[in-house]
Amino acid sequence: MSENNNNINSKDFIIGTLVGTMVGVSAALLFAPKSGRELRGNINQSANQVKYRAGELRNVAQEKGTDWKDKAYTTGSELRRKAMDTTSQLSKTVTQQSKDFKDNVVQKTEEFTKNATQKAEELKNDASQKIQEVKQDAGQKSQEVKKDAASQAQEVKNTVDNQAKQSNKEDLQAKEKVSQQTANDTVKNKPNN
């Protein structure tokens, strides 16, 4: 920005110097009490001075223009190099971060898969263990039920046997009673001879 101000200031200075010189020369010529020949000589001399100064200013302007052109080229080259370096560095950074991100995702995926496989295996083992426990419990319960059923069947058999014996005993007693009564009735009904 200061270079632009220098460009504008130098240009304004050159223009101001030229205009000031012309106005000064014109004013001096108009207000100087000199003769025509002297006045024309002064005008020629002033014109030559203006011409000489204009040539000097032109040379200065050319030198400054060349300097500014070289400076602009150098600055442009530096800016282009910095932009290329920055772009290259940025590209490397993005590539590295992308690689790191990808590696992180792969690692997390592997960890997740390993944990999921491990949990599945644990669940499978727990389920197998529970199945074995249920089988054992079912086997024990089955044995207990069989024992209870056998015990109850034995009790029922014993009860039936006891009742059968009792019934047989009562039948026997009833038969004996009937036989005795029949014998008694026969004795009673037998005529007394």
State yes or no: pLDDT of 193 exceeds 60.
no
Indicate whether 85 and 31 sit together in one domain: yes
Indicate whether 49 and 142 sit together in one domain: no
Q: Of 46, 70, 104, which residue sits at a domain end?
A: 104
Evaluate whether residue 121 is within a structural domain. Answer: no
Domain count, the chain: 2
Indicate whether 7 and 100 sit together in one domain: yes
State yes or no: pLDDT of 16 exceeds 90.
no
100, 103, 107, 113: CA torsion to nearest 10: 140
> For the residues of 56-76, what is the DSSP string, one character each?
HHHHHHHHHHHHHHHHHHHHH
* Confidence at residue 54, expressed as pLDDT on a 0 to 100 scale: 81
This prediction has a pTM of: 0.36
Domain residue limits at 60: 2-104
pLDDT tens readout for residues 105-114: 999 999 999 9
Mean pLDDT over each residue of the chain, to the nearest integer: 83
Indicate whether 43 and 83 sit together in one domain: yes
Q: What is the mean pLDDT of residues 7-12?
A: 72
Q: N- to C-terminal Cα distance for the chain?
A: 174
Indicate whether 6 and 98 sit together in one domain: yes
Query: For residue 28, how many other CB atoms are within 10 A of its CB?
Result: 14
